[in-house]
Amino acid sequence: MFRQAKNIDTAFRQVRLFALLLIVSCIIICCYVIYNSYKATAAVQSRIYILADGKALQVFAGDRKANIPVEAKDHVKTFHQYFFSLDPDEKVIQANISKALYLADGSAKKVYESLKENNYYADLISGNVSQEINIDSVSVDVSKYPFYFRCYANEKITRPSTVTTRSLITEGYLRNVSRSDNDPHGFLIEKWNIIQNKDIKTVVR
């Protein structure tokens, strides 16, 4: 009788142990499935498909922090392209300057107003002068906020009789703002300053 009771007790313990192991196993499997499902969902959500020339191309969304240096440099380049790429056409000049001023604060507007007061843009139009800019490099320090930048570029000023190459160095700071159609990078240039803008050479056409 006692042996039978002992066997029942042992069997009960074994069943209880088996049930416990089964429950723990189920919990582990459930956690593993949930984790992998979350991981797979996050991976799918990071994929973006764009349509280019009738073809669907897959791209991946990235974290804002990982893209700060690239977006900051492109923001600076875009601003300088708009601000310094000029043709002898008042509408073109106004359109480019307007786009540039969306990317910077009042410091850029002060430079524009100073050039306008000195008849710089009027002289471009009357003299049939075109101005192009070639960005050599842009350095951005993302270790401190707002981000300090320095831009190195060359200007090519084409007149009816000569072509002048000019060295341009500017500096300023970048702060975060909301993205918009006029400012897709979500940066605003502050305390923009022209360090150097001097002629390198002039070639007769």
What does the domain layout of the chain look like in residue ranges? 2-48, 64-204
**What is the pLDDT at residue 15?**
75
**Bond from prior residue into 184 cis (ω within 30 degrees of 0):** no
For residue 161, the 8-state DSSP code is S
* Nearest residue to 112 (alpha-carbon basis) of 99, 125, 121, 122: 121
For residue 165, how far is the Cα from the chain centroid? Answer: 29
Distance CA 103, CA 101 (A): 5
pTM: 0.71
pLDDT tens-digit readout, 101-122: 999 999 999 999 999 999 999 9
pLDDT tens-digit readout, 14-61: 777 777 888 888 888 888 888 877 776 665 555 565 555 555 555 555
Distance CA 166, CA 84 (A): 12
**What is the pLDDT at residue 46?**
54
**What is the pLDDT at residue 71?**
92
Q: Is the pLDDT of residue 2 over 70?
A: no
**What is the pLDDT at residue 78?**
96
Q: Is the pLDDT of residue 198 over 70?
A: yes
Distance CA 175, CA 187 (A): 5
- In CATH terms, 64-204 corresponds, of 3.10.450.230, 3.40.50.20, 3.30.465.10, 3.30.70.260, to 3.10.450.230
Distance CA 187, CA 205 (A): 40
Residue 187 bridge partners (DSSP): 176
% of the chain exceeding 70 in pLDDT: 81
Helices (H) and strands (E) in the chain, counts: 5, 6
